[in-house]
Chain A
Amino acid sequence: MDGAPPFTRRQTLAAAGLLAVSGVGLASCDQRSPTPAPKGTIMEGGGPPRRGGRVRVACLASSTADTLDPAKGGLSTDYVRHYMVYSGLTQFDERLRPQLGLAESIESADRTTWTIRLRKGVEFHDGSSLSADDVVFSLLRHKDPAVGSKVKTVADQIAEARATGPLEVEVRLTGPNADLPSILATSHFLIVKRDADFRHGNGCGPFRCSVFSPGVRTIVTRNPNYWKAGRPYLDEVELVGIPDEVSRVNALLSGDVQLINSVNPRSTRRIEATGRHGLLETHSGLYTDLIMRLDRLPTGRPEFTQAMKLLFDRELIRKALFRGHATVANDQPLPPSHPYYFPGLPQRPYDPEQARFLLKRGGLLDVRLPVYASPAAEGSVDMASILQEAAAAVGLRLAVNRVPSDGYWSNHWMKHPLTFGNSNPRPTADLMFSLFFKSDAPWNESGWKDPRFDQLLLAARGEADEAKRRQMYADMQVMVHNSAGVAIPVFIGSLDGFDKRLRGLRSIPIGGLMGYSFAEHVWWEA
């Protein structure tokens, strides 16, 4: 975040005020040290950022469904494109805390009614000024079912949003939620022009969209009027999708592209061998989980779910499947890098003996069960095989049904007693728990219902005391770990490969490619 305009006293005060009311650090003082290089990231040679240069970036997927509408973004290519063209009210830093973006301050006394003041003099690419109306439009459109927004369920928390001044918006939520600044930093909530038609991508972002050809390429050029003085550094970024992993790595190694995401751990040796390319691992909360439906038998029996959780050889999965580019997980969805991660929860071991005992006690030893895995849920097919072997050793017969990615989510996921799911990292503990574990959540994968959990979840949203809030999230992690019908063996690290002349890459643990927002941070050292 170096190169951002100096913060005025007013902004700092506003940020401090927010810190006091909500416990969410929108402070901005610690982010101005030049190019911080936290551990775990690769930085070679110092040197100040320099202007100019063009890079070509290849993401995992690109199809005719590519979009310039942030509400509809569904793939990494979309998120990257949207962060290049649009700006959000807030944006994540390397510790996943929201920092101010288009908002000059975000304040709330009760965490239900929020006042957002906008930065002055911000312009859209067409030259028009950013106004409160644009923000209101951008927020409320997610609630319209016809828009087809990916975050409709999240946006339904917004009861009302209205302009209270030319640069001031008041947002009233249906209930208190201290995480609003984090939610606003996600790519779906990027700010668009009022009544935008999304054909040209008119945003306030660091780059202007000059070519957008779905499934082929997106070319963006530097926005000289970007609201962060001196940013971005690059003159042009070309974004393409190369779905085939081998082709993607080949394109990096042959110099056709300078940055790729979603590198298979098997390719890491090829990339590192050249000496001209580096790898960036992001420890995000991405996981693939085994889902045991609690409303079906025998998966609903507590002995069964406990036994299955004990049958995962997590270390083997981490080493053999992901070649070490993963973190052992503990059957709850918050990764160790998460601010609310509870380190006091004992790690569940690989214990086939205990699993056999539990299965025997439940009379489940001769059961034959199909488990559905698919390439759609990353690594699930191999995990299923490892699980199958461990289960066979204790006398439980699993049949692995490998089904194609195409249609997996609508036809198999959560529809059988034993399936695999896959979840992208979400920026806040609240989102993670609300989307996947709340009793009435549409993606409550295992059908787990615990009224005490739901109460805690709602209470944590409005809790002003940070220590209490932390304790609540710790309790929720314990509850999920003990009784939900999901087994989360590992968090999968996300690997990006890059040409070492591309500088300034760090990891923002919401996803690869610096949380998809690398474009405004990196520079080209030719």
Chain B
Amino acid sequence: MAGVFSLILKRIGSAALILFLVSLIVFAISSLLPGDAASEMLGQSATPEAVAALRAQLGLNEPAHLRYLHWLVGLLTGNPGHSLANNMPVAALIAGRLPKSLILAAFAAGVSAPMAVSLGIAAAVKPGSALDRALSLTALSMVAVPEFLVATLGVLAFAVKLQWLPSITLIPEHPTIWQFVRGYILPVMTLSFVVTAQMARMTRAAVIDQLRQPYSEMARLKGLGPARVVIAHALPNAAGPIANAVALSLSYLLGGAIIVETIFNYPGVASLMVDAVTSRDMPLLQTCAMIFCAGYLLLVLAADICAILANPRLRRG
């Protein structure tokens, strides 16, 4: 178990460094964008004097490095500042959106991960069989279809034609369970469509790889059934790569759901970040970037821990 703890400690240290570097890079790159919050806010009506006045009011006249330092100090003390676009606390804006993104990601993960892993294993048991080929074909075509197409077709069929499901996800303040579930079916379906296929392919590859190892052959020679070989012997060793594949797909669910958020008008963090870029809202943009980065690091760490716990050889290390 000591291995796990030292790994966690090391990861936390490197995560802090990575987050710092990412915040620097995001700040540097976003300051290369043309215009700033003041000129974007005024848009077409940006006269030089109006921009200057607004810039002064928003504190944009400070040198860039000072603005960065203020933000960093604020973040470390738990106050990521105020949004430049609407003067609301960044923390409040994110508090309204992050749970929504997490719920969507959790639902999509809850649907897709078990499905993907079982499909992947089923396909791996007999590589080249009819089942395997059918599953592979389906998975590859699912990966190939862009999610905006899946979403649009889903909306046209289930919302516009059949009117079973809403076309946009507007969950009221106090939803009933049915409203809640109805609202999520289409977005979750769309997201699952893409990530399931990816995860299933990776799982299949990992399991097949293990089944080709001598120890699997030994197990089969001992006379164990295919189910036993896969579940008791191959799977624990394949757990590492599978967990990594799942973690990568899940991190995509958090930050990469922008297309699904746009089509279903779902108020998640990804669209909040896009808003922040267009309105040059640096405090908000930086904080969103930190959240995505931290989420990603956390998922990768979780995947590594899973791999260690599942594999006795690594556990001892």
Contact = CB atoms under 8 A, between A and B. Distances in A.
Contacts of B47: 153, 442
B43 A247 contact: no
A235 to B, nearest CB: 15
B289 to A, nearest CB: 15
A162 B7 CA distance: 70
A271 to B, nearest CB: 11
B163 A216 contact: no
A256 B49 contact: no
Interface stretch (A306-314, A404-412, A478-486): A404-412
B88 interface: yes
A256 B39 contact: no
A217 B34 contact: no
Interface residues of B, number: 50
B156 interface: yes
* B50, B167, B264, B284: most-surrounded residue (chain A CB, <10 A): B167
Given A145-B49, A256-B166, A63 B278 contact: yes
Contacts of B281: 64
A65 B265 contact: no
Interface stretch (A131-139, A236-244, A510-518): A236-244
B170 A410 contact: no
A243 B88 contact: no
B182 to A, nearest CB: 11
B40 A410 contact: yes
B265 A214 contact: no
B265 A63 contact: no
Contacts of A240: 168, 170, 265
A215 B272 contact: yes
Contacts of B88: 64, 214
B152 to A, nearest CB: 7
B61 to A, nearest CB: 13
A67 interface: yes
Contacts of A255: 163
Contacts of A216: 96, 267
A67 B84 CA distance: 12
B44 A443 contact: yes
A66 interface: yes
B93 interface: yes
Interface in A239-276: 240-244, 246-247, 250-251, 253-257
A310 to B, nearest CB: 28
Contact of B168 (A64, A150, A251, A411): A251
A146 B35 contact: no
Contacts of A58: 168
A243 B48 CA distance: 29
Nearest to A213: B96
B50 A148 contact: yes
Contacts of A246: 152, 263
Given A64-B279, A242-B168, A74 B86 contact: no
A334 B53 CA distance: 32
Given A146-B53, A254-B166, A254-B167, A407 B86 contact: no
A392 interface: no
B159 A254 contact: yes
B15 interface: no
Contact of A247 (B33, B168, B277): B168
Given A65-B275, A215-B272, A413-B44, A254 B160 contact: yes
A65 B275 CA distance: 8
A172 interface: no
B155 to A, nearest CB: 5
A301 interface: no
A443 B279 CA distance: 21
Contact of A148 (B35, B41, B83, B163): B41
Contacts of A360: none
A150 B51 CA distance: 11
B42 A247 contact: no
A65 B170 contact: no
A247 B272 contact: no
Interface in B32-74: 33-35, 39-50, 53-54, 56-57
Interface in A368-411: 406-407, 409-411
A257 B173 CA distance: 17
B106 interface: no
B85 interface: yes
Contacts of B163: 254-255
B14 interface: no
B93 A256 contact: no
B242 interface: no
B86 A250 contact: no
A449 interface: no
A64 B284 contact: yes
Nearest to A422: B44
B141 interface: no
Interface string B122-146: 0000000000000000000000000
Given A214-B93, A250-B167, A413-B44, A407 B50 contact: no
Contact of B85 (A63, A244, A254, A407): A63
Nearest to A217: B170
B44 A56 contact: no
Contacts of A345: none
* B41, B45, B156: most-surrounded residue (chain A CB, <10 A): B45
Contacts of B194: none
Contacts of B275: 63-65, 215
Interface string B82-102: 010110100001001000000
A152 interface: yes
A65 B86 contact: yes
A4 interface: no
Interface string A404-447: 00110111010000000010000000000000000000110000
A229 interface: no
B41 A242 contact: no
A254 B155 contact: yes
A152 B51 CA distance: 12
Given A64-B276, A247-B262, A407 B170 contact: no
A251 B167 contact: yes
Given A74-B43, A410-B35, A243 B170 contact: no
Nearest to B166: A256
Given A242-B168, A410-B35, A152 B85 contact: no
24 contacts: A56-B170, A63-B85, A63-B275, A63-B278, A64-B85, A64-B93, A64-B276, A74-B41, A148-B53, A211-B173, A215-B271, A217-B170, A240-B168, A242-B168, A247-B167, A247-B262, A250-B155, A250-B156, A253-B160, A254-B160, A257-B168, A407-B33, A410-B40, A442-B47
What are the 10 tightest A-B residue pairs by CB atom distance, in nearest-first order? A145-B53, A254-B159, A65-B85, A254-B167, A442-B47, A410-B35, A407-B34, A250-B167, A410-B39, A63-B275
Interface of A: 56, 58, 63-67, 72, 74, 145-146, 148, 150, 152-153, 211, 213-217, 240-244, 246-247, 250-251, 253-257, 406-407, 409-411, 413, 422, 442-443
Given A63-B279, A413-B44, 13 more contacts: A64-B83, A64-B272, A65-B275, A146-B53, A213-B96, A217-B170, A242-B168, A247-B263, A250-B167, A254-B166, A256-B159, A256-B166, A443-B45
